[in-house]
Structure 1
Amino acid sequence: MATLFRNLSLVLTISFLSCHYLSVTSLASSDGFVRCLLQKIPGELVLTPSSSSFADVLVSSIRNPMFFNNATARPLCIVTPADASHVQAAVLCGRAEGVRLRARSGGHDYEGLSYRSARRGEVFAVVDLGARLRAVSVSGGGDATAWVESGASLGELYYTVAKSNPGLAFPAGVCPTIGVGGHLSGGGISMMSRKYGLAADNILDAKLVNANGELVDRAAMGEDLFWAIRGGGGESFGIVVSWKVRLVQVPTTVTVFVVGRNVDQGAADVVARWQDVAPSLPPELTIRVIVRGQRATFQSLYLGSCADLVPTMSSMFPELGMTSADCREMSWLQSAALIQFWNPSTPVEALLNRRTSLSTFTKAKSDYVRRAIPSDVWKNILPWFTMNGSGQMLLEPMGGFVGGVPAAATPYPHRSGVLYNIQYIAYWSGDGTAANRWISGLYAFMEPYVSSDPREAYVNFRDLDIGENAVAPNDVSTFESGKVWGEKYFAGNFERLAAVKAAMDPTDYFRNEQSIPPFVGPKQVKKA
């Protein structure tokens, strides 16, 4: 079976780099920034467009070639810090010379905002954490924790934890090339979220370089800022260089299955039934659905044996027709590789491969569903996946631990009452007109059946279609423009995030097209 990210596997050549790398409004500030950096950090860590490795490093974490063109603003340089002090130097130089920073850990931001600007003329540099800040240190004691640097990939985290102790794991996303920093910053949905919560629910501490260039941990940054960085989206409050995370217990044997149903096998009815069943299954069992073409594929992880899983499926979800013949038993680390690559012969070391190819353009959108969609409607949804320029839909169940956490406990608000999250992805080569028309049309068609007021969205599935910040004459993003998209991602938590931003970065140094704007209003920042 071809998995979601494998289907989107892309090939990008260096010939894309023949266009303009940057558009700057002040050469003086640009030159001054680079000179300042070279006085504070080793020269080999600062890459300008004239550096021989600039192109390779820039492209190494680009996941979507649609942002690699003449209309896209490029960084004036790339900083590849090997230590937190190098990040501090970049912030101090940037503040002094009027150059903003964009931090990149894995490059999976769907709008590419960690390495490009949608606004021509913006002067910025990229702090590429994935180049050197990738260490994972698992506690040798009995507290089941680890410190992981933001540039580490999820695959590197999983591999290091499991090799240290096969009975431990971390609940985060399926795709192993995703960078830890961005993933944790936005929440982090996983195949174990129903049992152990989001990745952000399992953050215990962090080390962050703030807008003043100070390196602070949880105690020094305070609980308001610590609350904000655990799901409030990346690049709004500073640059997190490392995270202390709680590891979770996994059994020696877990079970994975994949069962597909075509339209003529009643796929619409089975998906409709899945909506009621999946959020209420035992938390050890997660079943997600990938809809593509004429087929709905049910992909599952069970923290236990096949012998225990089959009776549960027979009693709670007999419509799927899953049997013991569908089971594959293995270690949790092996399951992480199998769910991504769906090839039993793929070694777990494949999780360490950070590179992806770039031959296909993509566009993603997201929704949350709070009321089950009727089977008759699903019979109208599934034909969308046979149209020209079509893509796929991924349904991830909520409930369990995620649903039991109060909406204000972290910035991620999509908790109680949410049945599942939807991710839509269109993909194409060449002209993307048909694919973009397809995803826009499907998104509009789904509006009556998904959450409303606001129509919720997931910040880790970044979508500039739902709004962008406007910048006021004082060069600060406006709260009202941010509220348009911010309440879709964060609901009632958006105003608190904006108040934290005002307290920690009132001049809006850390910003992108969808960063949290500062807000000072009648409400005080609530304590965590």
Structure 2
Amino acid sequence: MAPPRSLALALLLCALSASCHASISYPPSAMPAAAPAKDDFLSCLTKSVSPRLLYTKSSPAYGSIWASTVRNLKFDSDKTVKPLYIITPTEAAHIQATVACGRKHGMRVRVRSGGHDYEGLSYRSAKPETFAVVDMSMMRHLSINGRNATAWVDSGAQLGDIYYFTGKYTPRLAFPAGVCSTIGVGGHFSGGGFGMMLRKHGIAVDNVIDAKVVDANGILLDRKSMGEDYFWAIRGGGGESFGIVVSWQLKLVPVPPKVTVFQVYRGLKDGAIDLITKWQQVAPSLPEDLMIRIMAMGDTAMFEALFLGTCKDLLPLMGSRFPELGVKQADCKEMSWVQSTAYIPMGASATVNDLLNRTSNIKAFGKYKSDYVKDPIPKAVWEKIYTWLAKPGAGIMIMDPYGAKISSIPDRATPFPHRQGMLFNIQYVSYWSGEAGSAAPTQWSRDMYAFMEPYVTKNPRQAYVNYRDLDLGVNQVVGDISTYESGRVWGEKYFKCNFERLARIKAKVDPTDYFRNEQSIPPLFK
């Protein structure tokens, strides 16, 4: 039972406790909420940045530049609040000048790398606001040091760039990050970044060893000059809160010359519910070389796996640990690791060269939510879940198992806290075509989320910051500073008790809250 690789499958593949609370006081003064001097900002910027890298709303290419990486069509609308300017830097000095001029003339900036932000906050505002966007798409240099098994990559690169050039350099090195190749490095790493090797090598930021960031004063810093608190915050604390990360140094990880992938479909009549019920206990306890995730949709479940080894070694493992799934030799596809990074999101016809494609033919509207599960969900509940998946306009559930490496790292090691004791993550994907105002898919998403509340994490109900969801709450601004109280509503869901530390670091490195959006870290002052 293997349905064709449809738009739905392509889209889904790409795609609070008292101890956390703190007392709050505010600084005696903050950046005044003055109306930006638009002409002065542009005049200041053109002294350091070529006009060919700047786009105003009157520029002929403004519309195409702005829309170039809009991945969610619900924001490609005349009603969307768009930036006054788009800056496309080609070097760190251009970013430094943008921040310096923005601070001097009251022009805030947002930052876009790949445009996959589910709420579009990297390139639009959810409320009327005057701002500029630093579009990192022209900064995508990558260099590999094979002797040290490290790489430097710019934030404007995409995951596909890392995978392609690492695989081209050697088939024995890789990097553990997300599934969709068009995801931008800057945003992905800023939220943590997990993918098919999370059980073997952890998440992307567990393997980041240095970075270069432009801070709120326009100063370019590295790990040594920024300090360990700042470095901790940018590795998973969410984008657009602490500065603009120009580039990241990565620790590459070893992989075997051949890996094995399988995609096995099981319908309800094939016992899908029994299989999922067992999977949620088996998958997190499997050897770290094996990752099996599930896409549940309609009356079907697709079990998708990456095994860091050959089919010869995989089949006995599946036979002893998960025989009910019935994986056979014919289900196995052996390939190099880099080939698997194209095959998994794009299908059997994809080639490694497709990893360099910076455009997407997916044209849909979307709404996304997420959950974490610590205790197995009973079979009777899975039966009810499938009634939700059968409803008109229903979306998809993507479930990624944890355990092994990702769960062996302490929750406070990085801002990403969803580690110890976690069985799996759920992403709810609702998508539709047609008008942006369609309410039915959005309602399904919210109703499904409400139904799942008894079966997922509590106090707080956790969520993954890279699956950004404004339903969880938005910042309120008082005196031109985002308030800690309003941020805590959504922030502890993404970061648990790490949110307080993030807010204290924010107060040190950006006390005037220059870098902000609707879900940026607010400053917490002593």
Asked if 1:111 is matched to 2:114, the reply is no
What does residue range 355-370 of structure 1 map to in structure 2 within 5 Å? 355-357=359-361, 359-370=363-374
Structure 1 residue aligned with 2:398: 394
Q: Residue deviations 1:275-312, cap 9 Å, x none?
A: 00000000000000001111000000000000000000
SS of match in other structure, 1:459: coil
Letter in 1 for 2:195: S
Structure 2 residue aligned with 1:16: none
Offset at residue 358 of structure 1 (A):
5.2
Which residue, 116, 124, 132 being the options, matches 1:125?
A: 132
What is the total number of aligned residue pairs between the two structures?
A: 502
Give TM-score, length-normalised by structure 2: 0.94
Mapped partners of 1:308, 1:8: distance in 2: 29
Is the contact made by 1:30 and 1:123 (CA closer than 8 Å) also made in structure 2? no
Offset at residue 432 of structure 1 (A):
2.1
Mapped partners of 2:10, 2:525: distance in 1: 45
SS of match in other structure, 1:461: coil
SS of match in other structure, 1:224: helix
Letter in 2 for 1:2: R
Is the contact made by 2:12 and 2:429 (CA closer than 8 Å) also made in structure 1? no
Is the contact made by 2:175 and 2:204 (CA closer than 8 Å) also made in structure 1? yes
Structure 2 residue aligned with 1:102: 110
Asked if 1:238 is matched to 2:243, the reply is yes
Letter in 1 for 2:5: A
Structure 1 residue aligned with 2:457: 451
Q: Residue deviations 1:122-178, cap 9 Å, x none?
A: 111000001x100110014x2100000000000011001110111111000000000
State the identity as a percent. Answer: 55
Mapped partners of 1:7, 1:425: distance in 2: 9
SS of match in other structure, 1:36: helix
Offset at residue 387 of structure 1 (A):
1.1
Mapped partners of 2:177, 2:388: distance in 1: 30
Offset at residue 445 of structure 1 (A):
0.4
Mapped partners of 2:217, 2:34: distance in 1: 23
SS of match in other structure, 2:245: strand
Q: Residue deviations 1:345-374, cap 9 Å, x none?
A: 321100111111353110000000000001
The 1:8/1:313 distance shift into structure 2, 3 A limit, reads closer
Is the contact made by 1:208 and 1:242 (CA closer than 8 Å) also made in structure 2? yes
Structure 2 residue aligned with 1:435: 441
What does residue range 418-497 of structure 1 map to in structure 2 within 5 Å? 418-430=422-434, 431-472=437-478, 474-497=479-502
Mapped partners of 2:390, 2:457: distance in 1: 25
Is the contact made by 2:154 and 2:247 (CA closer than 8 Å) also made in structure 1? yes
SS of match in other structure, 2:179: coil
Mapped partners of 1:154, 1:427: distance in 2: 23
Asked if 1:270 is matched to 2:275, the reply is yes
SS of match in other structure, 1:242: strand
Mapped partners of 1:93, 1:70: distance in 2: 28
SS of match in other structure, 1:146: strand
Is the contact made by 2:202 and 2:406 (CA closer than 8 Å) also made in structure 1? yes
Mapped partners of 2:464, 2:60: distance in 1: 38
Which residue, 365, 373, 378 being the options, matches 2:377?
A: 373
Q: Residue deviations 1:3-44, cap 9 Å, x none?
A: 76624699xxxxxxxxxxxxxx98861221111111111111
Gaps of 5+ in 1: 11-24, 522-528
Mapped partners of 2:37, 2:515: distance in 1: 17
Mapped partners of 1:97, 1:391: distance in 2: 45
Deviates more, 1:71-80 or 1:482-491: 71-80
Which residue, 64, 67, 72 being the options, matches 1:64?
A: 72
Letter in 2 for 1:261: R
Mapped partners of 2:258, 2:12: distance in 1: 30
Letter in 1 for 2:241: S
Which residue, 321, 330, 353 being the options, matches 1:325?
A: 330
Is the contact made by 1:8 and 1:360 (CA closer than 8 Å) also made in structure 2? no
Which residue, 50, 73, 87 being the options, matches 1:42?
A: 50
Deviates more, 1:347-356 or 1:499-508: 347-356
Structure 1 residue aligned with 2:388: 384
Offset at residue 201 of structure 1 (A):
0.3
Mapped partners of 1:265, 1:304: distance in 2: 28
SS of match in other structure, 1:436: helix
Letter in 2 for 1:219: K
SS of match in other structure, 1:460: coil
Offset at residue 200 of structure 1 (A):
0.7
What does residue range 272-351 of structure 1 map to in structure 2 within 5 Å? 272-343=277-348, 345-351=349-355
Mapped partners of 1:72, 1:28: distance in 2: 20
Mapped partners of 1:33, 1:393: distance in 2: 45
Letter in 1 for 2:179: V
Mapped partners of 2:286, 2:39: distance in 1: 58
What does residue range 194-273 of structure 1 map to in structure 2 within 5 Å? 194-273=199-278
Q: Residue deviations 1:221-248, cap 9 Å, x none?
A: 0000000000100000000000000000
Mapped partners of 1:491, 1:240: distance in 2: 24
Mapped partners of 1:408, 1:72: distance in 2: 37
SS of match in other structure, 2:305: strand
Structure 2 residue aligned with 1:2: 5
Is the contact made by 2:294 and 2:400 (CA closer than 8 Å) also made in structure 1? yes
Structure 1 residue aligned with 2:183: 178
Letter in 1 for 2:350: T
Aligned alpha-carbon RMSD (Å): 1.5
Gaps of 5+ in 2: 15-32
Mapped partners of 1:497, 1:488: distance in 2: 13
Mapped partners of 1:49, 1:149: distance in 2: 27
Offset at residue 72 of structure 1 (A):
2.0
Mapped partners of 2:392, 2:44: distance in 1: 52
The 1:26/1:475 distance shift into structure 2, 3 A limit, reads closer
Letter in 2 for 1:338: Y
Letter in 1 for 2:495: F
Mapped partners of 1:5, 1:298: distance in 2: 13
Deviates more, 1:70-79 or 1:270-279: 70-79
Which residue, 87, 95, 101 being the options, matches 2:95?
A: 87
Q: Which has the higher contact order (CA 8 A, sep 6+)?
A: 2
SS of match in other structure, 1:231: coil
SS of match in other structure, 1:513: coil
Is the contact made by 2:67 and 2:76 (CA closer than 8 Å) also made in structure 1? no
